[in-house]
A and B are shown apart, each in its own frame.
Chain A
Amino acid sequence: MNKALASLEPQISCTEVIEIIQEHLPALYFTFGRRRTETLADELSRQWDFLNMEEKKQVRQLICQAEEKNPGLFYLRRENLRRFLYQGIGYHHAGLSPALKDLVERLYESRLIYVLFCTETFAVGVNFPAASTVFDSCRKWDGRVFRNLHNREFFQMAGRSGRRGYDETGQVFVCLDQRFPEQTAFYEEDKMEPVQGRLMITPNTVLNLLHWKNGAEIKTFLEKNLATYQNNKEMRHIKQEIFKLEAELVKQEGVFCAVRRTPACQLERLKLRQELNYLSRRKNRHSLMAKERKKEIFSLLKIERQKCNDKKCRQNEKKIKKINEKISFFNRQANYLSKNSREYEQEFAQVLELLQRLGFIKGRELLPRGLFALNIHVQEILVTELIFSGLLLEVPSAEAAAILAGIDYQPGRDERVVKGNIPLKQMTTLKNHLLNYGVPEHFCLWSPLPGPLACAWYEGASFAALLQLSNLQEGDIFSLLRREIDLLRQIERAAGNDPVVTQFAQNLRYKLDRDEVAITGL
């Protein structure tokens, strides 16, 4: 390629990559962004067609079978994928409907896809090995920042390379980005990140602990969890280090002679001279105190200096300084760790206090709200309040469906849904009320955004109609409604023998669990 032309694009095109690695197909081509999988598939499809007539026939057969089961399989948005599949090219990301993902996986397994552009999720599930993997980039958005992939993430994906019995080695190709060369990451399998404890104290955990476990068991949970265990281990290590350093300190101190820190010692004399210098500076010169101190120093320096080789002493002095620096560094770390080691107990106490204030518990005993929340595993405080305040059963069922859809929902940056005519005002009031009551934000996560979708689905709209209502992708709408169905099951279980609530939750669930959103048998 012409070099001048090449420099316009910071990175090699996927078409060229495939040309270079065509000996190593099928390839999984990892990108970090759903749109990007589609863009690249489109780009490649303009130059490559991997399938012969016989293979195309097989593709048609598999597609027809899938479409029979799921009539709207490709909808309008995925017609591009159908075209790619006939050329042996595919894309796969969390925005696709499960049925379509399933079809792509089937085609891949049947060796009818030669290049599959996919996101990280493809490597998390079932193992689909390939001859090679390609990394369009090694940077991903992790929900907070763009960062390089960790070793473990990289090898989770790269490890898909190499089919047993087919390939001698699994080839991995990382594309360099000329714009940000310093961001290129290098990975080594023996530099995997260590596993760290990630315990979280949620209201549900606290309630379960109070209800099912005794004091000793709760103590084990708080004091012997992995993070605390690792913390304590680190603490022991630091204490050992400090102990060693202190011993070293004593040893170094022993090197000095008896005149140390008296004016007879050359080290002390140097210090005094320095001070003298400082006191003679213009801004200090005229102060009375400086004058007196100077006098004092002059008289001290009149004492005769001990004749000795002070070089060794000076080196020692430096060593001691360094050791002291190290000790204070470890002490700071120890302080930090000891603060952390009590973190879980404090958090537990905080949640306990909150639950008490909200009337979920009294002492160690669970009140009706607490017993209910025992069975709720998402936003348990918010959900329980929705039921116990009567709000969820008072509003029209369609609105209830809309409210529940928004629980624990964190909208993506550019997600848009056409606003419906459901008010959702009462829910906003309840949420604000809880916030004012001191419930932390992350215990009442709720968004009005997906409401209209759940409402329309409840009222019998088609899945295609939902797609018209929003820019959310099929996979997102599917999991949004599945989560709501799961939550309704939890509510049913939590309500136990309260016929009104169970009936309500069941009715809602039956209306939502249908057609594209239903789970078909295995």
Chain B
Amino acid sequence: MALKSGSSVIVAAPTGTGKTLIAEKLVADVLTKEKGVIYTSPIKALSNQKYRDFGALFGRDKVGLITGDLSINEGALVLVMTTEIFRNWCFTQPGELQDVSHVVFDEMHYLDDLARGTVWEESVIFAPLHLKLLGLSATIPNIYEIAAWIKEVRHDEVKVIIEKKRAVPLKTNWINQQGNILTAAEAQAEIKAQQEERKERYREGKKNE
């Protein structure tokens, strides 16, 4: 909704909660306006997958792919690329982005990546200002801070969408050496007991010396 009204959005949600669906809706919407949209992802395998998915949804002729390895249909309205390529375009080919209305950052929490985070950051700072952003991220606690930062560098209001519930809830168990399934509390108790036991053994050892 917020996207349709033309603002930038970041979504923080676990995998499988419909982030993909939001992106697909956006692409469909942009296509009806005959504008371009760029979809960036951090891994070549993900880019390839997205290219295939979008191709099946919107027609192969509408979708292009640009990675370090491959370059298919570069003039298409929907372009899937690695974030590195997008960052380079922001510097060297801003003209190519003139008719593009949105850029999607898949896995936007890569901002925090020690080696590659700088690429996401440079992309956010230097993406031409007429572009609206859609950031898709894993759950991050300081999502509002990130939104406020984008607002400051891009002078662009950013809406935040948070989903905490997983499509399928997780249950974490611990398995000890004897093959018992433990809850977190039980595991913690067992660890404490083991530590005590070890201390005891150490004391015994001292006594026997």
**Pairwise interchain contact B172-A519, C-beta atoms closer than 8 A:** no
Q: Is B99 an interface residue (CB 8 A)?
A: no
Question: Could you say which residues of chain A place their CB within 8 Å of the CB of B179?
Answer: 1, 12, 16-17, 19-20
Name the CB-closest residue of B to A171. Answer: B171
Question: Could you say which residues of chain B place their CB within 8 Å of the CB of A161?
Answer: 168, 170
**Pairwise interchain contact B15-A127, C-beta atoms closer than 8 A:** yes
**Pairwise interchain contact A189-B125, C-beta atoms closer than 8 A:** no
Q: Bound state CA distance, A174 and B31, in angstroms?
A: 46
Q: Bound state CA distance, A168 and B171, in angstroms?
A: 10
Question: Could you say which residues of chain A place their CB within 8 Å of the CB of B15?
Answer: 127, 159-160
Looking at the complex, which one of B70, B138, B174 makes contact with A152 (CB distance below 8 Å)?
B138
Most chain A Cβ neighbours within 10 Å, of B69, B118, B145: B118
133-178 of chain B: CB within 8 A of chain A: 137-142, 145-146, 149, 152-153, 164, 166-178
Question: Could you say which residues of chain B place their CB within 8 Å of the CB of A212?
Answer: 91-92
**Pairwise interchain contact A125-B43, C-beta atoms closer than 8 A:** yes
**Pairwise interchain contact A172-B118, C-beta atoms closer than 8 A:** no
Question: Could you say which residues of chain A place their CB within 8 Å of the CB of B142?
Answer: 194-195
Looking at the complex, which one of B43, B70, B173 makes contact with A519 (CB distance below 8 Å)?
B70
Q: Bound state CA distance, A155 and B109, in angstroms?
A: 13
Question: Could you say which residues of chain A place their CB within 8 Å of the CB of B109?
Answer: 152, 195
Closest chain-B Cβ to A139's Cβ sits at a distance in Å of 15
Question: Could you say which residues of chain B place their CB within 8 Å of the CB of A170?
Answer: 166, 168-171
101-135 of chain B: CB within 8 A of chain A: 109, 111-114, 117-118, 121-122, 125-126
| Stretch of B22-30, B46-54, B200-208 on the interface side | B46-54
Name the CB-closest residue of B to A184. Answer: B191
**Pairwise interchain contact A173-B174, C-beta atoms closer than 8 A:** yes
Given A174-B174, A182-B195: A194 in contact with B188 (beta carbons within 8 A): no
Q: Bound state CA distance, A307 and B88, in angstroms?
A: 78
**Pairwise interchain contact A174-B191, C-beta atoms closer than 8 A:** no
**Pairwise interchain contact B175-A162, C-beta atoms closer than 8 A:** no
Q: Is A377 an interface residue (CB 8 A)?
A: yes
Question: Could you say which residues of chain A place their CB within 8 Å of the CB of B48?
Answer: 522
Given A192-B140, A377-B88: A1 in contact with B149 (beta carbons within 8 A): no
Q: Is B59 an interface residue (CB 8 A)?
A: no
**Pairwise interchain contact A173-B175, C-beta atoms closer than 8 A:** yes
Closest chain-A Cβ to B97's Cβ sits at a distance in Å of 13
Q: Bound state CA distance, A220 and B125, in angstroms?
A: 8
Interface string of A100-140 (1 = CB under 8 A from B): 00000000000000000000000011110100000000000
Q: Bound state CA distance, A172 and B173, in angstroms?
A: 6
Name the CB-closest residue of A to B188. Answer: A186
Closest chain-A Cβ to B62's Cβ sits at a distance in Å of 16
**Pairwise interchain contact A192-B139, C-beta atoms closer than 8 A:** yes
Question: Could you say which residues of chain A place their CB within 8 Å of the CB of B122?
Answer: 199, 205, 221
Question: Could you say which residues of chain A place their CB within 8 Å of the CB of B140?
Answer: 152, 192, 194-195
Most chain B Cβ neighbours within 10 Å, of A159, A163, A195: A195
**Pairwise interchain contact A229-B45, C-beta atoms closer than 8 A:** no
**Pairwise interchain contact B69-A519, C-beta atoms closer than 8 A:** yes
Q: Is B2 an interface residue (CB 8 A)?
A: no
Q: Bound state CA distance, A208 and B119, in angstroms?
A: 13
Q: Bound state CA distance, A17 and B172, in angstroms?
A: 14
Given A155-B138, A198-B114: A486 in contact with B68 (beta carbons within 8 A): yes
Interface string of A171-195 (1 = CB under 8 A from B): 1111110100110101101111111
Looking at the complex, which one of B46, B65, B173 makes contact with A174 (CB distance below 8 Å)?
B173
Q: Bound state CA distance, A183 and B57, in angstroms?
A: 47
Name the CB-closest residue of A to B178. Answer: A6
**Pairwise interchain contact A169-B191, C-beta atoms closer than 8 A:** no
**Pairwise interchain contact B166-A1, C-beta atoms closer than 8 A:** no
Q: Is A164 an interface residue (CB 8 A)?
A: yes
Q: Is A167 an interface residue (CB 8 A)?
A: yes
Closest chain-A Cβ to B38's Cβ sits at a distance in Å of 18
Question: Could you say which residues of chain B place their CB within 8 Å of the CB of A350?
Answer: none
Question: Could you say which residues of chain A place their CB within 8 Å of the CB of B16?
Answer: 127, 129, 159, 162, 164
**Pairwise interchain contact A162-B195, C-beta atoms closer than 8 A:** no
Q: Bound state CA distance, A519 and B111, in angstroms?
A: 28
Question: Could you say which residues of chain A place their CB within 8 Å of the CB of B167?
Answer: 162, 164
Looking at the complex, which one of B91, B118, B194 makes contact with A181 (CB distance below 8 Å)?
B194
Question: Could you say which residues of chain B place their CB within 8 Å of the CB of A485?
Answer: 69
Name the CB-closest residue of A to B122. Answer: A205
Given A152-B138, A156-B138: A173 in contact with B173 (beta carbons within 8 A): yes
Name the CB-closest residue of B to A196. Answer: B112
**Pairwise interchain contact A189-B164, C-beta atoms closer than 8 A:** yes
Q: Is A11 an interface residue (CB 8 A)?
A: yes
Closest chain-A Cβ to B52's Cβ sits at a distance in Å of 6
**Pairwise interchain contact A181-B152, C-beta atoms closer than 8 A:** no
Q: Bound state CA distance, A147 and B129, in angstroms?
A: 40
Looking at the complex, which one of A7, A169, A374 makes contact with B170 (CB distance below 8 Å)?
A169
Question: Could you say which residues of chain B place their CB within 8 Å of the CB of A184?
Answer: 174, 187, 191
**Pairwise interchain contact A181-B191, C-beta atoms closer than 8 A:** yes
Q: Bound state CA distance, A276 and B61, in angstroms?
A: 93
**Pairwise interchain contact A11-B177, C-beta atoms closer than 8 A:** yes
Question: Could you say which residues of chain B place their CB within 8 Å of the CB of A522?
Answer: 48, 51-52, 65, 70, 72
Question: Could you say which residues of chain B place their CB within 8 Å of the CB of A182?
Answer: 191, 195
Q: Is A438 an interface residue (CB 8 A)?
A: no
**Pairwise interchain contact B125-A221, C-beta atoms closer than 8 A:** yes
Name the CB-closest residue of A to B153. Answer: A224
Question: Could you say which residues of chain B place their CB within 8 Å of the CB of A175?
Answer: 174-175
Most chain B Cβ neighbours within 10 Å, of A181, A211, A489: A181
**Pairwise interchain contact A226-B170, C-beta atoms closer than 8 A:** no
Q: Is A325 an interface residue (CB 8 A)?
A: no
Question: Could you say which residues of chain B place their CB within 8 Å of the CB of A363?
Answer: none
**Pairwise interchain contact A17-B168, C-beta atoms closer than 8 A:** no
Q: A176-B177, A186-B184, A221-B126 are in contact. List 16 more A-B contacts (CB 8 A).
A: A12-B178, A20-B181, A125-B43, A126-B45, A155-B138, A155-B139, A159-B14, A170-B168, A176-B190, A192-B141, A199-B121, A208-B92, A224-B152, A522-B48, A522-B65, A522-B70
A selection of 8 A-B contacts at a CB cut-off of 8 Å is A159-B14, A167-B168, A174-B174, A190-B141, A193-B112, A198-B113, A198-B121, A519-B70
Interface residues of B (CB under 8 A from A): 14-16, 43, 45-46, 48-49, 51-52, 65, 68-70, 72, 84, 88, 91-92, 109, 111-114, 117-118, 121-122, 125-126, 137-142, 145-146, 149, 152-153, 164, 166-179, 181-182, 184, 187-188, 190-191, 194-195
Across the A-B interface, the 3 shortest Cβ-Cβ residue pairs: A162-B168, A198-B117, A194-B142
